[in-house]
Amino acid sequence: MLQIDRQYLPTSDELPDSDDTPVDNEDQNFLPNLLLFLLEYIWKNRDDWYFGVDMGIYHTTGVSPRVPVIPDGFLSLGVERRKNGGSRSSYVMWEEEYTAPILTLEVVSHTYGDEYGKKLEIYRQLGIKYYVIYNPQFWRRDGHLPFEVYKLVDDDYQLQIGEPLWMPEISLGIGRCVLPSDRFGREVLSWFDQKGDRYLTPEEQAEIERQTANTERQRADAAQKQVELLTAKLRSLGISEE
């Protein structure tokens, strides 16, 4: 990556957070925000990561450092969870020690955004390890699969096989699923562990804990009932429980 003296580069305060182009379907916001929500729970004790949603990534590999690339979502590791204790309005790489995201996500919509061409090349130049393209509606139109993950190998992107796909550099897997709690039955993207098991939402985990507590309480009540029946039987036989 071209290194430009930072005194000649704009600061994050001078840069807009996006290109103000509205999304044309709700999945472009919903899906990456769901991934962020899950990470907030999975990595709740970690402060070395950042997940941006519809946020400009400013870099020095393009025609101008003032022209960002804006994925629907991206994950960076080894950076502050809260920049200087606050929130970011954009991801400015020269303010992040030139730490490129390790994963970017594009949700293909009706309006073609050059996800398989221009953006792929930008992410390759930035050295982004994983590039996820989710295209459930227009994959036939575009001649691709509904869900694709590209990995940067020897400075070139290679389509990966398998779902959920385990990403050892991130210690997470990514894939598609339908959340049992979703009354609309929507397909979404989620994180998975190394065994291929989906990380549960806080609500799902709370429900499991509630069911477990109920089961343990029922077992305790049944055991107490057995003790009471046995005690009553002994008393009927004139046998002292002592």
What CATH number is given to the structural domain containing 171?
3.90.1570
Cα–Cα distance for residue pair 153/159, rounded to 1 Å: 10
Do 211 and 155 share a structural domain?
no
Tell me the torsion sign for CA atoms 148, 150, 156, 161.
Answer: negative
What is the phi/psi pair of residue 184, to 5°? -90, -10
CB atoms within 10 A of CB 160: 16
69 CB contacts (<8 Å, ≥6 apart)? 56, 57, 59, 62, 119, 122, 123, 126
Tokens of 127: 């050295």
Do 115 and 78 share a structural domain?
yes
Q: 79-88, 187-196, 223-232: which range is least confident on average? A: 223-232
Tell me the torsion sign for CA atoms 204, 28, 126, 2.
Answer: negative
Do 211 and 166 share a structural domain?
no
Do 232 and 132 share a structural domain?
no
Closest CA to 100 of 73, 63, 81, 127: 127
* 134 compared with 239, residue with greater pLDDT: 134
pLDDT band of 6, cuts 50, 70, 90: low
Q: How big is the chain, counted in residues?
A: 242
Kindly report whether the peptide bond that precedes residue 180 is cis, defined as omega within 30 degrees of 0: no
Do 19 and 85 share a structural domain?
yes
* 43 compared with 64, residue with greater pLDDT: 43
Do 75 and 52 share a structural domain?
yes
Q: How many structural domains does the chain have?
A: 2
Which residues in 71-106 are b (16+ Cβ under 10 Å) and which e? bbbbbbbebeeebeeeebebbbbbbbeeebbbbbbb
| Domain assignment of residue 192, given as a range | 6-199
Predicted TM-score (pTM) of this structure:
0.81
> 141: buried, middle or exposed (CB in 10 Å: 19+, 13-18, 0-12)?
exposed
**What mean pLDDT is predicted for residues 113-127?**
93
Residue 110 has pLDDT above 90, yes or no: no
* 239 compared with 114, residue with greater pLDDT: 114
Do 152 and 50 share a structural domain?
yes
Cα–Cα distance for residue pair 103/152, rounded to 1 Å: 10
pLDDT of residue 135: 95
Task: Indicate whether 1 belongs to any domain.
Answer: no
Residue 160 has pLDDT above 80, yes or no: yes
Do 230 and 113 share a structural domain?
no
Residue 118 has pLDDT above 80, yes or no: yes
